[in-house]
Structure 1
Amino acid sequence: MAEQNKNTRKRTGMKSFIGGTILTDERTLKQMPFVGFLAVLGLLLIANRNWSESTLREIVVLQEELEELRSESVTLSAKLMDASRPSEVAKRVEQAGIGLQEPMRPPQKITVEKED
């Protein structure tokens, strides 16, 4: 019996692997569901890695776009602040020839007393 075990072990060496007879061995066939499970886990791991990398690339692109939009917003805000100064408004009204004049007196509060 020990000699038969030795012969079986010799058959499962490199020669049986290269020849393909290892695939018909009973011990190998018993392990096939586990090997299939490992293959599915490997595919899931690869798919998860690819999904994560594409998500990270998308995040980087969106962050760059956000920085660009922020800088554009700050620039436009500064231009609007500059354009809304009273001196700038007066210059534009004069250039447009609308005929409005800048008031010389500051605005005052008008109070009306109520008669009982």
Structure 2
Amino acid sequence: MAEQTKNTKKIPGMKSFIGGTILTDDRITRQLPFVLFLAFLGLLLIANRNWSGSTIREIEVLNEELEELRSESITLSAKLMDASRPSEVAKKVEQANIGLEEPVRPPQRLIVEKEK
């Protein structure tokens, strides 16, 4: 019976965990590469989450800027259409005293015959 107790390994308890002797146990040191791999994967997961969070915030900022530019474009387009109406152009020409007058006769089509 004495041989049986020598061959069975004792499961590390709280005393060995607190004392640090658990790190020298063969069962624990065999698992160390796997634990380090898991820690590395955890760091990758945290880094990926931070990167994606910053990317999402940047996308939101760019979408807000896009909406502002789109509304500004619509406003400027409406102002340009209003300013390019023939009546508005005639008023601006009159105010500038350029001396141009609005044509009274409608435009005519010119027909050019080809020589043979």
Whether these two folds match at TM > 0.5 is yes
The CA deviation at 1:2 is: 4.2
1:77 is the counterpart of 2:73:
no
The CA deviation at 1:19 is: 1.3
Structure 2: which 5+ runs fail to align? Answer: none
Alignment of 1:1-116 (within 5 A): 1-4=3-6, 5=8, 8-9=10-11, 12-113=12-113
Identity, in percent, stands at 75
In structure 2, distance between residues paired with 1:115 and 1:3: 122
**Structure 1 residues 87 and 30 mapped into 2: Cα distance closer, same or farther (>3 Å)?**
same
Moved over 2 A (4+): 1-6, 110-116
- TM (normalized to structure 1)? 0.88
Instruction: Please tell me the root mean square deviation across aligned C-alpha atoms, in Å.
Output: 1.7
Q: Secondary structure at the match of 1:110?
A: coil
The CA deviation at 1:110 is: 2.4
The CA deviation at 1:46 is: 0.8
In structure 2, distance between residues paired with 1:47 and 1:115: 79
The CA deviation at 1:112 is: 4.2
**Structure 1 residues 21 and 115 mapped into 2: Cα distance closer, same or farther (>3 Å)?**
closer
In structure 2, distance between residues paired with 1:2 and 1:97: 117
In structure 2, distance between residues paired with 1:114 and 1:18: 108
The CA deviation at 1:85 is: 0.3
> Aligned partner of 1:3: which letter?
T
- How many residues matched? 113
> Aligned partner of 2:34: which letter?
F
